[in-house]
A and B are shown apart, each in its own frame.
Chain A
Amino acid sequence: MVETTQSRGAAWRKGVQDGIPIGLGYFAVSFAFGIMAKEAGMTVFQAGLISITNLTSAGQFAAVGLMVSGASYAEMALTQLIINLRYCLMSCALSQKWDPAVPSFHRFLVAHGVTDEIFGVSILKEGHLNPWFNYGLMSAAVPGWVGGTVIGALCGAILPESLTSALGIAIYGMFLAIVIPPAKKERAIAAVVIAAMVCSTVFRLTPVLKGVSSGFQIIIITVLVAGLAAALRPLEKEEGEEA
């Protein structure tokens, strides 16, 4: 199929449309990230730079904690690898939907925009992946993420403490909204969610384990819990498609 400029534009516009709720959600969460980054001693530019180059919620929040604690670059790399490993699976799934007729350079651009939400919207589309649809999603989502970060870093200091305190819970609310609905449908996921929370609590309370940096705690718990789940409840053939 030969793609016309018009069909590209239509796909892009549809992407922007579907991406607007994503961008709004990102704004709220990255606003909290901006405040956190500023409180950790970063400039507005540095906070914005992190958001535009990383485009990932959990990884960025963990990174600020690592920087403050003076973690090594290796620890930073390993933490990002583990926390963001899910994008690997998402990119694998997206690669299965790639139209061989679409030039390969689009893969490099689409890749930067593989987030939980953009993936969720684009993988559910019928047929082959249209990179212009993904660019539309990114055009709405990226400004939301970066804009929220910059405004959060700028205004964080002038907002009353009661407000910034309340915003601190936003990211965790979002995480719960990501993990709970699938946990309701699949008992194995529910078991993973509960086991990970219990392990994390044990780490936080046990004298020796408490000393392990939070990044490595996450790595250990993830490998342990996801590994056990994969051994005990391996996927049926098709399930991986929707992951």
Chain B
Amino acid sequence: MRGNIYLYIAVMAGVTYLIRVLPLTLIRKQIDNRFVQSFLYYVPYATLSAMTFPAILTSTTSVAAATLGFIVAVILAWKDKGLVTVAAFACVTVFIAERFL
């Protein structure tokens, strides 16, 4: 680590808090710009998806086990299981798969 860790934490906490507090304190009217509204609407899906794949495949010791965990997570998420259920079963799948692979 080259930088100062407390400075890093201050930067990330500051930016994150400002993102949350500014709209809540300053914006008292509905945002009208349709493009901005639409862009913000799609942002979480693009960000989370880009972060998840392909990183998920190398998130555990074995790529094969992670692939199985990924498939299990997709199926359970598709069936509208909650965050905890999906995350837990992905972990269990990897744990079991790594015993056998």
Contacts and interface: CB of A to CB of B under 8 A. Distances in A.
Contacts of A218: 47, 50-51
A83 to B, nearest CB: 6
B24 A240 contact: no
Interface in B18-34: 19-25, 27-28, 30-31, 34
A92 B25 CA distance: 9
Q: Give 10 nearest A-B pairs by CB, closest first.
A: A173-B90, A70-B2, A230-B38, A180-B77, A196-B49, A91-B23, A177-B86, A53-B13, A173-B87, A166-B95
Interface string B64-98: 00100110011011101111111111111011001
A229 B60 contact: no
Tell me whether chain A's interface is mostly helix, strand or loop, or mixed: helix
A16 interface: no
A92 B21 CA distance: 10
Nearest to B97: A166
Interface residues of B, number: 76
Given A92-B23, A95-B28, A172-B73, A226 B83 contact: no
A196 B50 contact: yes
Contacts of B34: 234-235
A229 B34 CA distance: 12
Interface of A: 21, 24-25, 28-29, 40-42, 46, 49-50, 53-56, 58-63, 66-68, 70-73, 76-77, 80-92, 94-96, 98, 104, 107-108, 110-112, 114, 116-117, 161-163, 165-184, 188-189, 192-197, 199-201, 204, 217-218, 221-222, 225-227, 229-231, 233-235, 239-240, 243
Interface of B is mostly: helix
A28 B84 contact: yes
Given A111-B25, A222-B43, A240-B41, A181 B80 contact: yes
A91 B20 contact: yes
Contact of B42 (A71, A171, A192): A192
A114 B52 CA distance: 22
Contacts of A83: 47, 51
A10 B88 CA distance: 32
A179 B21 CA distance: 25
Contact of A58 (B7, B15, B48, B80): B48
B98 A171 contact: no
